[in-house]
Amino acid sequence: MQMSFCIVGAGFSGAVIARSLAENGHKVVVIDERTHPGGNCHTERDPKTGVMIHRYGPHIFHTDNENVYSYVCRFGEMMPFRHRVMATVQGRVYSMPINLLTINQFFGTTLGPSEARELLARKRRADIAQPANFEEQALSMVGEEMYRAFFRGYTRKQWGIEPTELPASILKRLPLRFNYDDSYFAHKYQAIPRNGYTGIIEKILDAPNIEVRLGCTFEQLSESWDHVVYTGPIDRFFSFDIGRLGYRTLDFETFYVEGDAQGTAIMNYCDEQVPYTRITEHRHFSPWDQSGTDGSVLYREYSRACGADDIPYYPIRLVNEQALLRQYVERARATTGVTFAGRLGTYRYIDMDVTIAEAMKAAEMIQTAIAQRTAIPAFAIDPLS
Ligand SMILES: Cc1cc2nc3c(=O)[nH]c(=O)nc-3n(C[C@H](O)[C@H](O)[C@H](O)COP(=O)(O)OP(=O)(O)OC[C@H]3O[C@@H](n4cnc5c(N)ncnc54)[C@H](O)[C@@H]3O)c2cc1C
């Protein structure tokens, strides 16, 4: 049975679902209010320097999922990229995430792995057996001095709240290494597309049954479809009528230099007196692509509470937001004709590989429901889990 679909959002979620439905013979219209496809992964050439920029913040593709990696490779060339992050603290540069080099730099020592472990065992707060929040987690991992230097100011700038109000789980995900491995990610595949993420997403959307309409919001359309897949914010679908889910937004301040400004793609600024959280120098994300001028384009990144007209970046998901989310999810489950997907549709931070895997799962769920002639569920992934 051929059906008509409207997919709201031309990011990875919308594109992957659209492609799968189109390849199964359905008619698909993909709309996005932005004038480009790619969602937040959008890349474009900077007009002044020709450098490929990550317009909505730096994106590095990293995954252990063979299926997802071979899927993206179908649509573009992936260039191996080993991501490293530096951090400036009190006028000194350190290696991140915290590894043996960071420990030796910070304490002015030349310790080996087991000596460094012993040092941190003396520094860390042994009395915190079950860390109840981010701050306690950090104190029980690295102790007061490193917590204050690397985490406290940065976290307050990034989230706008006290680290004691954030869950310990955020920090549990960060590695602490007693060797000189300074790779930010540990995944088997770590890469950046040669022609940018938008090049890949355009190719995913390039199929006979897909029509792409840019610069158009879902709310302004009057047509009807057999089914809608909504990858925009779940609270926006319901006109925010029971309240807005909290997000952090980002402001990017662009500036230019001649040549290489910082010698690396990302420099974090952990001190609270420095108003931005990090500086991204885009040319380092495509070292294979050094044609054009010698100019370099950089972003200073500032984090703040997301207002009604801002781009929602990071979902906050604290207690109040969880309660509101539960109400929206119940409403979504009671609504027919729409499936919610993606980072905004499920109000979660998800990396690109997880986004693609979940989009594949959503498309499969939709095809199964069509084949079995049952109602298409509101979610393939439970946003409350
Ligand atoms: C700063 C930052 C850095 C990141 N870095 C990485 C990284 O290094 N590696 C990694 O794997 N992941 C990274 N991510 C995560 C990555 O951005 C997401 O996995 C990905 O963007 C999710 O894709 P999506 O299609 O679900 O959502 P999006 O990319 O947000 O796409 C949703 C689209 O829907 C459109 N839309 C929404 N509502 C409507 C409407 N009502 N009408 C019309 N259009 C609408 C929006 O304009 C948008 O284009 C990062 C995220 C952030 C915030």
CATH number of the domain enclosing 343: 3.40.50.720
Question: In ligand 1, which atom is closest to the CA atom of 355?
Answer: 19
45 has catalytic annotation? no
Mean pLDDT of 335-347: 98
Residue 255 covered by a domain? no
Q: Which of 177, 236, 343, 348 is catalytic?
A: 177
53 and 107 share one domain: no
Cβ–ligand 1 distance for 313 under 6 Å, the answer yes
* Residue 290 confidence (pLDDT) above 80: no
Strands (E), the chain: 4-8, 27-32, 43-45, 52-54, 61-63, 78-80, 85-89, 92-96, 189-193, 210-214, 227-230, 247-258, 266-269, 278-281, 295-305, 314-315, 338-340
SS3 (DSSP) at 379: strand
Q: Which of 134-143, 168-177, 330-339 has the lowest mean pLDDT?
A: 168-177
Residue 228 covered by a domain? yes
67 and 89 share one domain: no
pTM flag (> 0.95): yes
197 Cα: distance to centroid of ligand 1 (angstroms)? 12
Predicted confidence at residue 293, as pLDDT, reads 67
201 and 237 share one domain: yes
**Ligand 1 atom 6, closest CA:** 59
Residue 248 covered by a domain? no
Q: Which of 326, 349, 364, 382 is catalytic?
A: 349
320 and 212 share one domain: yes
Share above pLDDT 90 across residues of the chain, in percent, rounded to a whole number: 94
User: What is the rounded average pLDDT for all residues in the chain?
Assistant: 96
12 Cα: distance to centroid of ligand 1 (angstroms)? 7
Q: Which of 180-189, 283-292, 294-303, 322-331 has the lowest mean pLDDT?
A: 283-292
* Residue 292 confidence (pLDDT) above 70: no
132 and 149 share one domain: yes
43 and 67 share one domain: yes
Last residue of a domain, one of 172, 201, 231: 172
114 and 166 share one domain: yes
92 and 160 share one domain: yes
Residue 286 covered by a domain? no
Last residue of a domain, one of 172, 199, 231: 172
Tell me which residue range forms the domain holding 125. Answer: 85-172
140 and 49 share one domain: no
pLDDT in tens, 73-115: 999 999 999 999 999 999 999 999 999 999 999 999 999 999 9
* Residue 173 confidence (pLDDT) above 90: no
pLDDT in tens, 26-69: 999 999 999 999 999 999 999 999 999 999 999 999 999 999 99
Count up the domains in the chain and report the number.
2
226 has catalytic annotation? no
Structure tokens at 194: 């040669």
74 has catalytic annotation? no
75 and 93 share one domain: no
72 and 92 share one domain: no
236 and 363 share one domain: yes
300 has catalytic annotation? no
Predicted confidence at residue 291, as pLDDT, reads 65
135 Cα: distance to centroid of ligand 1 (angstroms)? 29
Predicted confidence at residue 171, as pLDDT, reads 84
349 has catalytic annotation? yes
